[in-house]
Structure 1
């Protein structure tokens, strides 16, 4: 008689259709949260996804679990943008491109960005890697004499936080205020 399988040995990787549904749900949730904020209902998300609300609850225990999944994607997308910025041969363009990404990213998520930020841990491996990349972006811009010698990654992180605040305080669809804010503050950090 063969041994009975243990619960851990019977666990399988998620089925392909479950992973596809996860992607559909997350995409729909991002769109609905962008329109309605984090108070949007799971029913509205299910409707946008074209799935039953029960299907969503089978994969995500509730709205908090869904926001956690989106926050993790938020962290990964930010890290990918920082990595891409580091590949730019022009350190000034790399840094500016990254900061522009941050502004656009926050503007698109204006109604629920704060709910995501509260769910991101600075101790998370991806967040730590992104912080290292922001340090390197800053160092590259200083070494290229684009930024003043005394500018640090903490200055850039403060600028990122401030941009988020300007986005939150601006009218929907108006990118002018945060772009102007970013331009003025980068001018103040420049060398010479």
Structure 2
């Protein structure tokens, strides 16, 4: 993920006294990306109760550096939630661009499973932080297009809709949440079985 994008999601741009926007320093952008990646890893291991000191240690930065960029865990979780929304949208776009509708759909759904497995321990802390914004709406539209493309290619049965795929995604999240840490076999089996049920001649 481009570090400038990460920064734009994590921070409010500062302005100089003349009110002319000033580009953030390159090392500050790099530190933002390092901190967010470290926070994702630590939250995945310890949950949202993880300390800022643990995140600083993983990032290889002083805790004061982190507090200068993010006022606390709340701001970090906000930045991570927005980043997840962007990543989901990018995955949907890549799947839609795949010339093979079957491969695109399966890769997207596998991404969703892996994506949710990463944040299993702190998903609840992110739930209220992900708003229904323009990016989320665009992702939903892309999933509908991806579904329609798969139906037209004969990959999915004619009566399958985007709402069916959306319901599968919601159910997949539940299976991931109920699975033991590090055990991806359950949700992958669930995905295979339900995709088979959506194919022609099921």
TM-score for the superposition, normalised by structure 2? 0.87
Match of 2:177 in 1: 168
Match of 1:102 in 2: 112
Q: Deviations over 1:52-97 (max 9, x none)?
A: 2121111111111101101111111111111111121111111111
Structure 1 gaps, min length 5: none
Matches within 5 A, 1:38-53: 38-53=48-63
**Aligned match for 1:60, one of 46, 49, 70:** 70
Match of 1:89 in 2: 99
Q: Distance in 1 between matches of 2:120 and 2:192?
A: 20
Displaced runs of 4 or more, over 6 A:
none
Residue 6 of structure 1, CA deviation: 7.4
Residue 50 of structure 1, CA deviation: 1.4
TM-score for the superposition, normalised by structure 1? 0.91
Residue 11 of structure 1, CA deviation: 4.7
| Count of aligned positions | 187
Q: Give the conservation status (yes or no) of the 8 Å contact 2:102–2:155.
A: yes
Q: Deviations over 1:122-157 (max 9, x none)?
A: 2x1211111111011111111112212221111111
Q: Give the conservation status (yes or no) of the 8 Å contact 2:16–2:22.
A: no
Match of 2:39 in 1: 29
